Amino acid sequence: MPGFELFGEEEKKEVQDVLDNGVLMRYGFDAMRNGHHKALELEKNLAQRMETQYAQVVSSGTAALTVALACAGVGSGDEVIMPTFTFVASFEAILSVGAIPVLCDIDDTLTLHPEAVEKAITSKTKAVMPVHMCGSMADLKALKTICGKHNLILLEDACQAIGGTYEGKPLGSYGDLGCFSFDYVKTVTCGEGGGIITNSEKIAERAHKYQDHGHDHMGNDRGAETHPFLGYNFRLSELNAAVGIAQLRKLDHTLAIQKKNYTILRDALSAIPEVTFRRVPENGVESYAFLNIFLPNENLARNAHKALGNHNVDACFYWFDNNWHYYKKWEHLLEQKSIHPLSEEIQTRLKKNNKSFAASDAWMGRTVSCLIKLNWTEEEVHQRGSKMVQAIQSIL
């Protein structure tokens, strides 16, 4: 999965362009640039690759979610439905715009369960944010139908699933807008960075201003630009964008490697009757960034994860006990541990998340995920598959 495994001359060339002209900031200093506008180039390439009208690059995946929510009009007192299984950035971004994260159960896709989403909708709900965790997507057609019925925004968090598709559309492009992370361990990396895609001119116009202190970017004198509305600093530097340009060009090659390695491992584990696999929604194609398996129960899943480590199979995760990715360990959210005071409304409504999510626990307790690396040789992948089979069989 990590794009840094494929760093090479392409990234060096793009970065050297920036160092040669000396302009590390995306705005201004046009006379010095020698025609290089790396962030703008990355945006054009991202929009083209994701088959959308617009793209905006920003400083992180968290920033992408924050800018996307703000530019979609989500704010004070609004509720955003999000899954129990995701990275902490999901609720951080929601809270940063003054909205309320509403945790919601997942199903065997390891993403939002549409029936649970519909039950979680209230008069305060403004958006539904499916998170395409570990390379695969939610039941987007069902979620889009629900959002249409209730006039809600569908914001796809595709930070871990760039390159996957649903009904022939790139993930992130199916909803109203989509977000990506380009951090160091993502399939496409800028070192640090993120991106937003949309077909909404209104959202795109807001986004390029909002991520740069509200600058309108009119004319060629940055100091004379006006500020139509409040904004913040979520800009991506030219150096980070330069790395992203080279990485995005490699995406199809990266996906092909991931699919090959994923398929070898899945075929090996398919020989174990007790192992089943995460459901990929009909008409969906995952990015093959992770192989996600289910064991028959929580105890066997825990033992399988431990056995994989004992058999020297690295990069496997038991998310059920993970501090960053599963709600059970999010004490700082559930207990509202904030260094700045939260409003009484936010405090009161956050407490609604302090309940059990039995349906989520039933799936996550049985789940083991294995990262798909890019630099394995084919022989190493087959050896890994054999070790995984031995490890899991040893605890059955």
State the catalytic residues. 186
Beta-sheet strand order (sheet of 316-317):
276-277, 290-294, 367-371, 316-317
CB 269 within 8 A of CB 48: no
- In 10 A of CB 357, how many CB atoms? 21
Token digits for 288?
A: 């093959």
Token digits for 164?
A: 């996957």
Beta-sheet strand order (sheet of 284-285):
169-170, 165-166, 284-285
Residue that is written with structure tokens 């940055």 in the block = 222
**Rounded distance between C-alpha atoms, residue 46 and residue 43, angstroms:** 5
Query: Up-side HSE of residue 59: CA atoms within 13 Å toward CB?
Result: 11
CB 149 within 8 A of CB 164: no
How many whole angstroms from its chain centre is CA 222?
32
**Rounded distance between C-alpha atoms, residue 29 and residue 15, angstroms:** 17
Token digits for 89?
A: 């950035």
H or E, element range at 80: strand 79-83
Would the CA dihedral through 144, 149, 153, 157 be positive or negative?
negative
**Rounded distance between C-alpha atoms, residue 250 and residue 9, angstroms:** 12
100-104 and 79-83: which strand pairing? parallel
Q: CB under 8 Å, gap of 24 or more: what pairs does 332-339 form?
A: 333/88, 333/91, 333/101
Token digits for 22?
A: 């000396």
